[in-house]
A and B are shown apart, each in its own frame.
Chain A
Amino acid sequence: MKTTNKQEHSVTSYPDGKQEAITVQHVTKRYNDVLAITDVSFSVGKGELFGLIGPDGAGKTTLMRILMTLLLPTEGEAYLAGLDVRKEYKKIRHLVGYMPGRFSLYQDLSVEENLEFFATVFGTTIQENYDLIRDIYVQIEPFKKRLAGKLSGGMKQKLALSCALIHKPEILVLDEPTTGVDAVSRKEFWDMLKRLQKQGITILVSTPYMDEAGLCDRVALMQKGQIMTIDTPPRIVENYQRNLLAARSTDMHRLINDIRNWDKTDTAYAFGQFVHVTTSDDNLEAVELERYLLSQNHTQLQVFEISPGIEDVFMDLMTS
């Protein structure tokens, strides 16, 4: 069976056919008796921006390390640009750029020295591919003599991205590039990714922030080593089957507790200034919840039906 898969793959793989930049087939990774990822399959098209969305422990890093040929899968097959991660790791390493979650540059080399080092290792020069990194690198160039270890978090991130890009990779893999990063810098980072995508680079990115899912072409929602669903963000939201209500009042904490104590409530979770509510009967109308909450003396009450976001879907899949 496995041989057939592989042959199938070498026929359909890019550069000659369906243009799959990343193919993952039934990959499982086991550490002794711990399953880090279980039977994961997905593919990323050439030029696509694909997101792995999930909390810590979802298996995002393990999966990326397998694709980067740094870990062997226990079972299953994975290909980058049609190349087998088990056998053709040397070729793969030339066509991918990888930004690990933990800062992994040389702290005791300067900004410029780090960049030069990565360029040299890949047999190129900074000048040759400067166009690709210009947007990002100009922001740290004033500090090019500074040791990488002395950079601020945001600057380290930009240097790491520059180093991952300096050999002009076809596929860029970024492990939680925006974790612990403020809302403004996160937006800027995603703008940067979009610009790289326009230059034809395939991007696989992981994030624990559900609101970033909407910025990807397609996403896999992951939890505990498994993929719960894969699709475009709009379709993931469309496929949500539940009836979803939103409520707010002046006393949020009491509002949540009152909703949870209502016998018709299934789940009640805070979403910013609102509480999102699913009910055991999906035909229940907003006015019923409103009537109940009015009887609990809530003031400035608003209750209405809403469309779900990715986070609503994720929470529903987690519990179903």
Chain B
Amino acid sequence: MNQQIPVITVRNLVKKFGSFVANDHLNFEVYKGEIFGFLGANGAGKTTAMRILCGLLAPTSGELTVGGYDVYTQTELIKKNIGYMSQKFSLYEDLTISENIRFYTGIYGIRRNERLKREADMLKKLNLENERNKLIASLPLGWKQKLAFSVALFHNPQIVFLDEPTGGVDPITRRQFWDHIYEAAAEGKTIFVTTHYMDEAEYCDRVSIMVDGRIDALDTPENLKKQFNAANMEQVFLKLARGAKNTE
């Protein structure tokens, strides 16, 4: 975080669907090792922007790089160099831990020997060596979350996108998950995270808030609270998002 090396750069990102402007001239950078909170009301344009950054959707105009790769011409390289996890979709419940890892490494083209080595390291670190042949469905939620996050990091991406990773999760597991996020960031991973829990916005290094396709605020939680004269991030969010036109 100290040297502030940008790993995501976004300049004048515009995305239109017909006459509807989903992303209206977005400008921001995300730095190496940073936990970047990407907030906004439903319909503000977050998912669109995230899909573009993950190389799944082409922008209408603007200059963007993710991990140094261009979002127009190098989408396959982007996909190889990012990780992704959401609460809705993480691991296959009816496969074992080991089978899930095999599936993911297959997609990322990681060879067998390399897989077995990394799998052993990972399960040792998570203290799950004896559980490798258990079905995901049979594991407690806290373990599933920890595993899903580790699997998203398995191919050693520089940047991890977390799309509402803690929705519906109990309050203790939710906090344990943030411990994992902090650890990964401390190891130099860049974390790009969305959430509807406003307390989690406080845990980010910087937070951007989208309103009607624009980024209306971007700063550290501390500075945003000062700027909007608010006691907490929920108040900041409410002040900004209340004026929105495109909210659902």
Which residue, A155, A182, A270, has most C-beta atoms of chain B within 10 A?
A: A182
Q: Is A315 touching B241 in the complex (CB atoms < 8 A)?
A: no
CA of A180 to CA of B194, assembled, Å: 11
A273–B232 CB distance below 8 A: yes
Q: Does B117 contact A (CB under 8 A)?
A: no
B203 touches A252 (CB 8 A): yes
- Complex Cα distance, B141 from A209, in Å, reads 17
B116 to chain A, nearest CB (A): 33
- Measured CB to CB, the nearest residue on chain B to A268 is B175
Q: Which of A182, A270, A273 makes the CB contact (< 8 A) with B247? A: A182
Stretch of A9-17, A88-96, A183-191, A288-296 on the interface side: A183-191
Q: Which residue of A lies closest to B175 (CB)?
A: A269
Q: Answer whether residue A223 sits at the interface, using C-beta atoms and an 8 A cutoff.
A: yes
User: Size of chain A's interface in residues, with CB distance under 8 A?
Assistant: 36
A319 at the interface (CB under 8 A from B): yes
Chain B residues with Cβ under 8 A from A258's Cβ? none
Please tell me if B5 contacts chain A, counting CB pairs below 8 Å.
Answer: no
Name the residue of chain A whose CB is nearest to the CB of B186: A253
Q: Is A152 an interface residue (CB 8 A)?
A: yes
Complexed CA–CA distance, A228 and B242 (Å): 36
State the Cβ distance, B178 to closest chain A Cβ, in Å. 6
Report if A184-B182 is in contact (Cβ < 8 Å); known contacts: A272-B199, A315-B171: no
Instruction: Determine whether the beta carbon of B42 is less than 8 Å from that of A181.
Output: yes
Please give me the residue from chain B that is nearest to A208 by CB atom.
Answer: B168
B78 contacts which chain A residues (CB < 8 A)? Answer: none
Is the C-beta of A55 less than 8 angstroms from some C-beta in chain B?
Answer: yes
Question: How near does chain B come to A135, taking the closest CB pair, in angstroms?
Answer: 16
What would 12 more interface pairs be, CB under 8 Å, given A183-B241, A184-B237, A272-B199? A55-B168, A154-B247, A157-B248, A182-B44, A184-B242, A185-B248, A210-B171, A253-B182, A256-B179, A271-B199, A272-B202, A273-B221
Q: Which residues of B contact A (CB under 8 A)?
A: 40-44, 141, 164, 167-173, 175, 178-179, 182, 186, 196-199, 202-203, 221, 232-234, 237-238, 241-242, 244, 247-248
List residues of A whose CB falls within 8 A of some B CB.
54-57, 152-155, 157, 176, 179-187, 208-210, 223, 252-253, 256, 269-273, 311, 314-315, 318-319
18 contacts between A and B (CB under 8 A): A55-B141, A55-B170, A152-B42, A152-B43, A152-B248, A153-B43, A154-B248, A182-B237, A183-B238, A184-B237, A184-B241, A184-B244, A253-B182, A269-B175, A273-B202, A273-B221, A273-B232, A318-B170
Instruction: Kindly list the 8 A-B residue pairs having the minimum CB-CB distance in the complex, ordered from nearest.
Output: A154-B248, A55-B170, A272-B199, A56-B168, A182-B41, A272-B202, A184-B241, A152-B248
